[in-house]
Each structure stands twice: as C-alpha cells, then as structure tokens.
Amino acid sequence: MISADVLIIGAGPAGLQAAIHAARKKVSVVLVGKTENSALAGTHIENYLGIPGKADGSEILRVGSGQAEGFGCRMLRENVISAARKDGGFEIMTENDTAIKARAVILATGISRVKLGVPGEKELFGKGVSYCAACDGNFYKGKTVAIIGGETESAASAELMTAYASKVYWVAKDIAASERMIRKAADAGAETVRASAKAIIGEDKVTALELDDGTVLSLDGVFIELGARSSADLAMDLDVMPEMDDSIKVDSSCFTGTDGIYACGDVTGKPWQLAKAVGQGAVAGTSAAEWVRNNVSE
C-alpha cells in the first residue's frame, strides 16, 4: 500500500503541473499515469507563451515529468482501474495491483471518450454501442458482447462483462494492457480476437461486428474502450457527478464540490489548450495541498 497526501491521476500537462505545485507545498504527492496517453504526446505546440516556433509535445512531457520528480513527486507509470472513497480518504487501484491511499485526489485524465470511427458507431450509440461497461453492463445479462480496445480499460471491462454476458469477445489488433490484466480477462473466460473492428452492424439495435479479417461476430452489444478508465467513470467512483458531456465542473480553485477532490485540464471542458491545462494544474495542485494542510490532521 502506497500512501500520499495528494494523488494525481493523469500524466499530461495539467497533472504534471499540479504535481509540481502540490509538491512545492511540502505535502507527499503521487502521480499515476502514462505521458504517452496525453493528448500532448506526439504533437507540436506553437501558441504557448515563451516557446517560439514549434515545440515537441512529447519533449515537454518528458521534461515536465523530470521537474515533478525533482520536486519530490513519486510517479507510477501505470493506468488506474478503480477508485473509491474509503476510511475518510480515497483508495485507488492500478493495473499492476498497486493500491494507493490518498487524502486528496486531483483528476487530470484528459478527455473521456475515445471514438472508434467506424460505420455504425454513431448510428447505434445507445442501441447496443456503449463506451462504459461498468455503467451499462447490467443491461447485457445472458447476452453476447464485444469489448473493443487493447488498453487497460478494455481488459478490465472484458473481465467485468464475463459476470453478466454469456459470451465476451475481447477484440484488439494490438494489446498494450499489462500481463496481469490480460491473464485476468482470459481466466474469467473472455475470448481474445486479434483483429480490428471494421463496422458495427444493425438497424434498430446492434446485431453484429464486422472485423478487418472478414470475420463477422453475431452479438448484442459493443463496448468501445480504447484507453485508460475515463474521467467520467473515475469521477462517479469518487461520488463526483460529471456533466452530460463527461466533463467535470469546477470552481475557480478547481474544486469539484466533493471534499478533497479537484480536477484540471481538458477534463474540465473547453478550451482544450496547453495554456489552460498548465494554469489549472497550478491552481489544482496548490488547492489540493492547502486543503490537506487545513482539513486533515496528522
């Protein structure tokens, strides 16, 4: 069990800046996330104050990670699979079965839902297409479903859905989830299909999934889960209700309205800009550290 005063979920610019500011307030800080999952990774920035020309987003994240660790933040390059309120604080579990206990949490997970972009996805959303197995799994008792995606969230969802559905396909051309999560999904009975989704088939409801190798899977539901657990899922785990667009509403101090929980960056809504993410990260990190100092006794 790892203990921290402030836990930050998300290793993008908002999360890293929050880590820097919280750590400078002399509280213990743990950041969980992978910089490669940030929207900044692999992009170029040319509208940020003090950076002329085109700056490499991945390099900004690399340097920022070093800065956060230099100020004392402990970084775990893993994905979060669950979060809960517990014993007056919070407890988070990662894909490698690492438990983290924290007094305050900062959600800096970025934009929630990653779209697949295939025919039938938009048309059948809510008619068998879902982006959250944890939210909608109960509707598929005794049904056949497919989980699409190769990351941690999809592995966890494949395992989860075996408790509801009669048959679970885990569809992914490439799998990047940890070996532990892959084993858990397989042991639970999910069948791995190494292919990419080509189209979701159905009229009034989902009836099949066509794959790029020509295979057609007859099924009742498709769960598209292409990254780590979404901000909306984690927020609801922590008793924070997201907005209809899955963003998280915050006040000027980045407070969510639930004691001990703050949010910053793209997860709080537009504009999705580096400048906003960094600015809110500074505010959230400072606010969370001050809340721990003022409200939680040693």
Q: In what order do the strands lie in the sheet with 216-218?
A: 197-202, 206-211, 216-218
- Res 98: pLDDT: 94
Name the nearest CA neighbour of 202 among 224, 218, 215. Answer: 218
- Res 297: pLDDT: 56
Separation of alpha carbons 264 and 14, rounded Å:
6
Rounded to whole angstroms, the maximal C-alpha distance in the chain is: 61
Per-position pLDDT tens, the chain of length 298: 999 999 999 999 999 999 999 999 999 999 999 998 888 888 888 889 998 888 899 999 999 999 999 999 999 999 898 899 998 899 999 988 999 999 999 999 987 556 788 999 989 988 999 887 877 888 899 999 999 999 888 998 999 999 999 999 999 999 988 899 999 999 999 999 999 999 999 999 999 999 999 999 999 999 998 766 667 778 888 999 988 778 899 999 999 999 999 999 999 988 889 999 999 999 999 999 999 999 865 4
Separation of alpha carbons 139 and 133, rounded Å:
10
Separation of alpha carbons 211 and 146, rounded Å:
11
For strand 29-32 and strand 44-45, is the pairing parallel, antiparallel, or unpaired? unpaired
- Res 138: pLDDT: 86
List the domains of the chain with CATH numbers: 2-112+229-295 (3.50.50.60), 129-224 (3.50.50.60)
Structure tokens at 196: 């990419």
Q: What are phi and psi of 32, to 5 degrees?
A: -115, 125
Q: Which helix (H) or strand (E) holds 192?
A: strand 191-193
> Would you say 289 and 6 are in contact if contact means Cβ atoms under 8 Å apart?
yes
For strand 129-130 and strand 206-211, is the pairing parallel, antiparallel, or unpaired? unpaired
Task: Provide the whole-model pTM.
Answer: 0.75
Name the nearest CA neighbour of 107 among 276, 291, 260, 3. Answer: 260
Residue with tokens 């299909």: 193
- Res 253: pLDDT: 98
Q: Where are the alpha helices (DSSP H) in 210-273?
A: 231-237
Q: How far is CA 283 from CA 27, 63, 120, 127, 189, in A?
A: 15, 20, 41, 40, 45
- Cβ burial of 157 (10 Å; 0-12, 13-18, 19+) is buried
